[in-house]
Amino acid sequence: GGITDAVRVMQACRERGLKFAPHTWTNGIGLLVNLHVYAAGGREHPLEYPCEPPGWTPEVRDGLLAEPIRADAAGTIAVPEAPGLGIVLDEDQLRRYGEKYFEITTRGIAVKTIREKGLFTALRLARKKRR
């Protein structure tokens, strides 16, 4: 699931009078995404999030963010108010740790199309592209 599925689950719980206690066990990007979903859902119960020093600290969890996410003394994290999800990435960290997971060639696209859509569709698309 994703954001839409999470919202649907929250709505279904509310309609049935069930409690919904969200949690997130991910990096800072995922934490901020889940925080927005949680905030949109009415904040009926606490959002559980990862912070277990000495190993799982904001600096480690939020390594790809420009600034670590900090909770206040009560453990509350403010929902970002910047545009979109309010996520600001650390470009240097992305360059350092980023990895290209997917690269495809023209031949690779052709093979993938044949496998997934069939030879007829692949040939039709190739003819269309040549026009």
**Do residues 89 and 56 share a domain?**
yes
pTM over 0.85: no
- Domain limits for position 84: 3-97
Q: SS3 string of 91-117?
A: HHHHHHHCCCCCCCCHHHHHHHHHHHH
**Do residues 75 and 113 share a domain?**
no
pLDDT tens digits along 107-125: 888 888 899 989 998 889 8
pLDDT tens digits along 5-17: 888 988 898 899 9
Q: How many domains does the chain contain in total? A: 2
